[in-house]
Amino acid sequence: MKKKYVLFDLDGTLTDSREGIVNSIEYMLRHYQVAVKDQSELQPWLGPPLKESLMKYCGFCEEKALEGVAVYREYFDRQGIFENRVYPGIEGMLDGLKRQGCRLLVATSKPETAAVRVLEHFGLSGYFAYIGGATLDDSRVRKGDVIRYVLESCGIREKAQAVMVGDREQDVKGAKENGLEVVGVLYGYGSREELVGAGADYLVESPQGLVHLLMK
Give the integer Cα–Cα distance in Å for 26 and 24: 5
> 86-123 b/e with 16+ CB inside 10 Å = b?
bbebbbebbebbbeeebbbbbbbbbbbebbbbbbeebe
Instruction: State the catalytic residues.
Output: 9
- As a residue count, the chain comes to 216
* Amino acid found at 209: G
Nearest to 102 by CA among 198, 204, 7, 207: 7
